[in-house]
Amino acid sequence: MHNPLRSEADAFRWVVIIGLAAASVIVLTLLTRPAIGVVWMALLIGFGIGFGYRAARGSLHENVEVTRGGDGRFRLLVVANETVQGAELLGEIRERCRDRRAEVMVVTPALAASRADHWASDIDEAIELARQRMELSLIEIRGLGLKARGEIGDSDPNMAIEDALRVFAADEILISTHPPERSRWLEHGVVDKARERIELPITHVVVDLSAVGTPS
């Protein structure tokens, strides 16, 4: 869920919507009776709350537009945070890129500790942690002989994928999570949403850090 009021342009949109709704109430009230205007206004307020809720939930595009590289190079987008150094993920990357001219982009969403932190963008510490994990993972991926780069992504993993696809013409996406019983991303349907919205092969890699003893 995202704040639907993040800029002056958003605020202006709301002014126009509320202004038009108010105009309809005024016209109805002047043509009929105030009571009918009150009922109409109550209906519009209900509609407005629903609209605002949908706007907050639907900030992401329904279908993400994907750019294509077209130079014969295989581009793999890896989305992971705490599991970004997991052996399973590295194995999957190696498998995907074997005998190919490949390029890997690692996106590490900076995870907000709570919804309040997300809304307040209070995630500087999370960004630093994500950066450290990402840099270590890049070292390992480069150790496989692959060209790799990384970015810190939005704290919403689906938004981070969408952002990454705007600048990286991925052919395939790997999303790495903890096992289902411990994964907040899976709880929030990150993989399912990505599959619904993006017309690219998406592989879900489960990394059990506790089983292999990899540092988290």
Shortest distance in whole angstroms from residue 131 CB to other proteins: 6
Query: Given the complex with other proteins, which of 26 and 49 has the nearer CB atom?
Result: 26
Shortest distance in whole angstroms from residue 44 CB to other proteins: 10
Instruction: State the Cα–Cα distance between residues 158 and 163, nearest whole angstrom.
Output: 9
Instruction: State the Cα–Cα distance between residues 80 and 134, nearest whole angstrom.
Output: 9
The CA dihedral of 87, 88, 91, 92, to the nearest 10 degrees, is -150
Query: Given the complex with other proteins, which of 156 and 209 has the nearer CB atom?
Result: 156
Query: Given the complex with other proteins, which of 144 and 206 has the nearer CB atom?
Result: 144
Are 78 and 123 spatial neighbours (Cβ–Cβ below 8 Å)? no
Where do the H-state alpha helices sit in the chain?
Answer: 8-31, 34-57, 87-97, 115-119, 124-143, 157-167, 184-187, 190-197, 209-212
Whole-Å CA distances, 97 to 134, 198, 208 = 19, 21, 22
Shortest distance in whole angstroms from residue 84 CB to other proteins: 13
Query: Given the complex with other proteins, which of 94 and 208 has the nearer CB atom?
Result: 94
Binding-site ranges for other proteins (CB under 8 A): 2-3, 5-9, 11-12, 14-16, 18-19, 22, 25-26, 29-30, 34, 37-38, 41, 59, 110, 118-121, 124, 127-128, 130-131, 134-135, 138, 142, 146-156, 159, 162-164, 166-167
Pairing of strands 102-109, 74-79: parallel
Shortest distance in whole angstroms from residue 38 CB to other proteins: 6
Are 66 and 200 spatial neighbours (Cβ–Cβ below 8 Å)? yes
Shortest distance in whole angstroms from residue 142 CB to other proteins: 6
Shortest distance in whole angstroms from residue 182 CB to other proteins: 24
Query: Given the complex with other proteins, which of 48 and 179 has the nearer CB atom?
Result: 48
Query: Given the complex with other proteins, which of 86 and 150 has the nearer CB atom?
Result: 150
Are 63 and 199 spatial neighbours (Cβ–Cβ below 8 Å)? yes
Of 97, 101, 121, nearest in space to 111 by CA: 121
